[in-house]
């Protein structure tokens, strides 16, 4: 099994088609740590993680991306935040019972998928997609049809490898401004669809590509690492506290003796007592320690 998560881009020499292969099992395990999500929610977060990484790689931008599904069912929200450096984090919000065999639509009820792209420079873009497909992959393929108008297929797998949660996926897309033959694309889709979960979870990328396309000429490019990274910090929490009315902060302190700010993404706790709050207002935000 590869020792860390990576995104690989590849190109077919004889077809106007590009591909991506990503393994995100370690990042996935980080996202699930400190949470007791029902199995279908865990699986959906893994699918969203794979999808976000693959999507980021097709967009060629510097900045942040958020892919979230939300609805009126027991699963209110599942979201992955990432960026072009493949730094990922994610969380879900469950309010109600979710059966072990729940489908995407049973979890979300009437739902939508929202893709938000915030480039470092330029306009923020938001795309909203109805959840018309049975699976997340089908819903995303619908997004590509609407927005990019490029034939795109996603293969997203979640499960277990070596007793731990595992997630990986592949993407095929016709190159823009190329007159690709639909039969060629279908041929490559059929080959890719034969990939087994465990092969995708555990084999090196070059071996996966050889197994799938050994009769094709494929160029595999240098991989990019995918990692879990949370953007929370004590300073960010302090900045948020400073914006609150003084009376509200005083009430919170009086009620609990301190203010415990918890990050849903990574499980960190940032605790502020009366001395810390006084120091904040005196402009000395670094007077206390961070608690995990």
**Residue 45 and residue 69: Cα distance in Å, rounded?**
10
> 232-261 in b/e burial notation, b at 16+ Cβ within 10 A?
bebeebbeebeeeeeeebeebbeeeeebeb
Digit-coded pLDDT (tens) for 246-284: 888 888 888 888 899 888 888 888 999 888 888 888 875
CA distance 171 to 97: 33
Domain with CATH 3.55.30.10 in the chain: 6-228
pLDDT digits (tens, 9 = 90+) for 64-123: 999 999 999 999 999 999 999 999 999 999 999 999 999 999 999 999 999 999 999 989
**Distance of alpha carbon 81 from alpha carbon 49, whole angstroms:** 9
The closest of 199, 164, 146 to 21, measured between CA atoms, is: 199
Note the pLDDT of residue 288.
42
pLDDT digits (tens, 9 = 90+) for 236-249: 888 888 888 888 88
Q: 150 forms bridges with which residues in the sheet?
A: none
- Phi, psi torsion values for 42, nearest 5 degrees: -55, -45
**Which CATH fold would you assign to the domain 234-281?**
CBS domain Like (3.90.1280)
Which of the four pLDDT bands, split at 50, 70 and 90, describes residue 287? very low
The pTM (predicted TM-score) of the whole model is 0.85
Residue 23, helix vs strand vs coil: strand
Evaluate whether 83 touches 56 at the Cβ level (below 8 Å): yes
H helices of 135-287, in order, are 136-147, 182-192, 197-202, 205-213, 234-242, 246-256, 274-281
In the chain, CATH 3.90.1280.10 covers 234-281
Fold annotation for 6-228: Hsp33 domain (3.55.30)
């Amino acid at each position: 099994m590869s020792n860390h998560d990576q995104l690989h881009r590849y190109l077919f020499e004889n077809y106007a088609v590009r591909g991506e292969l990503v393994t995100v099992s370690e990042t996935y395990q980080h996202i699930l740590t400190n949470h007791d999500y029902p199995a279908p929610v865990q699986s959906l977060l893994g699918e969203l993680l794979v999808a976000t990484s693959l999507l980021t790689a097709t967009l060629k931008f510097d900045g942040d991306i958020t892919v979230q599904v939300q609805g009126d069912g027991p699963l209110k929200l599942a979201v992955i935040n990432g960026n072009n450096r493949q730094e990922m984090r994610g969380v879900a919000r469950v309010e109600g019972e979710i059966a072990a065999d729940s489908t995407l639509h049973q979890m979300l009820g009437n739902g939508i998928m929202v893709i938000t792209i915030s480039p470092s420079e330029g306009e923020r873009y938001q795309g909203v997609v109805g959840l018309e497909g049975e699976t997340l992959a089908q819903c995303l393929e619908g997004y590509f049809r609407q927005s990019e108008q490029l034939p795109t297929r996603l293969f997203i797998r979640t499960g277990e490898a070596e007793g731990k949660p595992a997630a990986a996926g592949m993407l095929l897309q016709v190159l823009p401004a190329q007159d690709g033959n639909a039969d060629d694309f279908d041929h490559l889709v059929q080959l890719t669809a034969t990939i087994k979960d465990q092969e995708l979870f555990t084999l090196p990328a070059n071996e996966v590509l050889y197994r799938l396309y050994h009769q094709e000429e494929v160029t595999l490019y240098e991989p990019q690492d995918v990692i879990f990274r949370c953007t929370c910090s004590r300073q960010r929490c302090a900045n948020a506290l400073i914006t609150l009315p003084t009376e509200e902060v005083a009430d919170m302190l009086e009620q609990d003796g301190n203010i415990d700010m918890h990050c849903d993404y990574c499980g960190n706790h940032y605790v502020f007592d009366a001395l810390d709050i006084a120091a904040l207002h005196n402009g000395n935000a670094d007077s206390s320690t961070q608690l995990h």
